[in-house]
Amino acid sequence: MISLKTLIRDIKLSEPSQRALAEAGINTLEDLTHWSTRDVLALHGVGPKTIRIVTPLLESLGLHFKP
Protein backbone atom coordinates (compact mmCIF):
# COMPACT_ATOMS: atom_id res chain seq x y z
CA MET A 1 0.00 0.00 0.00
CA ILE A 2 1.27 3.44 -0.92
CA SER A 3 1.53 6.07 1.82
CA LEU A 4 3.48 9.24 2.58
CA LYS A 5 6.09 7.09 4.28
CA THR A 6 6.55 4.75 1.30
CA LEU A 7 10.27 4.43 0.81
CA ILE A 8 11.73 5.39 -2.54
CA ARG A 9 13.75 2.18 -2.53
CA ASP A 10 10.45 0.24 -2.50
CA ILE A 11 9.29 1.87 -5.75
CA LYS A 12 10.38 0.32 -9.04
CA LEU A 13 12.89 2.97 -10.11
CA SER A 14 16.24 2.58 -11.83
CA GLU A 15 19.29 2.16 -9.62
CA PRO A 16 20.77 5.50 -10.78
CA SER A 17 17.51 7.28 -9.88
CA GLN A 18 17.33 5.62 -6.48
CA ARG A 19 20.95 6.54 -5.72
CA ALA A 20 20.51 10.14 -6.86
CA LEU A 21 17.36 10.61 -4.78
CA ALA A 22 18.96 9.02 -1.72
CA GLU A 23 22.05 11.20 -2.04
CA ALA A 24 19.77 14.26 -2.17
CA GLY A 25 18.04 13.14 1.04
CA ILE A 26 14.84 12.05 -0.72
CA ASN A 27 13.93 8.80 1.00
CA THR A 28 10.10 8.82 1.01
CA LEU A 29 7.27 10.01 -1.19
CA GLU A 30 6.65 12.74 1.36
CA ASP A 31 10.21 14.01 0.80
CA LEU A 32 9.42 14.46 -2.90
CA THR A 33 6.67 16.97 -2.09
CA HIS A 34 9.37 19.43 -1.00
CA TRP A 35 11.00 19.35 -4.44
CA SER A 36 9.89 20.65 -7.83
CA THR A 37 10.02 18.35 -10.84
CA ARG A 38 12.64 20.65 -12.32
CA ASP A 39 14.89 20.26 -9.27
CA VAL A 40 14.44 16.49 -9.19
CA LEU A 41 15.24 16.22 -12.90
CA ALA A 42 18.39 18.26 -12.30
CA LEU A 43 19.76 15.43 -10.13
CA HIS A 44 22.32 13.36 -12.03
CA GLY A 45 20.76 9.96 -12.67
CA VAL A 46 17.12 11.05 -12.58
CA GLY A 47 15.18 11.28 -15.83
CA PRO A 48 11.64 11.85 -17.05
CA LYS A 49 10.70 8.20 -16.49
CA THR A 50 11.19 8.66 -12.74
CA ILE A 51 8.80 11.61 -12.78
CA ARG A 52 6.26 9.57 -14.80
CA ILE A 53 6.42 6.80 -12.20
CA VAL A 54 6.21 8.85 -9.01
CA THR A 55 3.73 11.54 -10.12
CA PRO A 56 0.72 9.17 -10.13
CA LEU A 57 1.80 7.78 -6.76
CA LEU A 58 1.84 11.28 -5.29
CA GLU A 59 -1.48 12.14 -6.94
CA SER A 60 -3.08 9.00 -5.50
CA LEU A 61 -2.31 10.50 -2.07
CA GLY A 62 -3.63 13.93 -3.07
CA LEU A 63 -0.09 15.31 -3.22
CA HIS A 64 2.14 16.83 -5.87
CA PHE A 65 5.62 18.15 -6.46
CA LYS A 66 6.40 21.63 -5.20
CA PRO A 67 5.52 24.22 -7.87
**In a domain? residue 45:** yes
Residue 28, helix vs strand vs coil: strand
- What pLDDT does 33 receive? 96
Per-residue pLDDT tens digits for 21-66: 999 999 999 999 999 999 999 999 999 999 999 999 999 999 999 9
Q: Which domain holds residue 33?
A: 8-60
Q: For residue 1, is it within any domain?
A: no
Residue 45 to residue 30: CA distance in whole angstroms:
20
Q: Is residue 2 part of a domain?
A: no
Q: Is the sign of the CA dihedral 52, 11, 17, 67 positive or negative?
A: positive
Q: What is the pLDDT of residue 12?
A: 95
Q: Is residue 47 part of a domain?
A: yes
Supply the CATH number for residue 23's domain.
1.10.150
Residue 42 placed within a domain: yes
pLDDT at residue 1, rounded to an integer: 86
Q: Tally the domains of the chain.
A: 1
pLDDT tens for 5-21 read 999 999 999 999 999 99
